[in-house]
């Protein structure tokens, strides 16, 4: 399921596996996209009997080693 996503209105800002990105969190965090969940994004994920989450498009390993999941609107591509 690897692929790219062009952000609306910006044809040069392509997110893909291997892209270096920055989150829109406060403060912003930087990392590398490691997986594209494509068509699975938005589906419910059952964590356990008490917890359900909505899946996200991109898996990102942050520079501090933390794995996070975000949709394209929560990321921007940055130069290496």
Domains of the chain (ranges, CATH numbers): 4-77 (2.30.30)
Q: What is the pLDDT at residue 11? A: 38
Q: What is the full DSSP assignment across 36-75?
A: E-GGGTT-EEEEETTEEEE--SEEEEETTS-EEEE-GGGE
Locus of tokens 């399921």: 1
Q: Which residues pair with 44 in a beta bridge?
A: 54
Cα–Cα–Cα angle for 8, 73, 63, rounded to 5 degrees: 125
Distance CA 63, CA 50 (A): 31
Give, for all 80 residues of the chain, the pLDDT tens digit.
445 544 444 434 699 999 999 999 889 999 999 999 888 888 888 888 898 888 899 999 999 999 899 999 999 999 75
């Amino acid at each position: 399921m690897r692929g790219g996503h062009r952000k609306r209105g910006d044809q040069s800002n392509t997110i893909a596996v291997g892209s270096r990105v920055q989150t829109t969190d406060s403060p912003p965090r930087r990392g590398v996209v490691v997986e594209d969940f494509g068509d699975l994004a938005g589906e419910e994920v059952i964590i356990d009997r008490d917890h359900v989450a909505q899946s996200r498009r991109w898996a990102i390993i942050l520079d501090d080693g933390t794995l996070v999941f975000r949709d394209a609107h929560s990321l921007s591509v940055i130069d290496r």
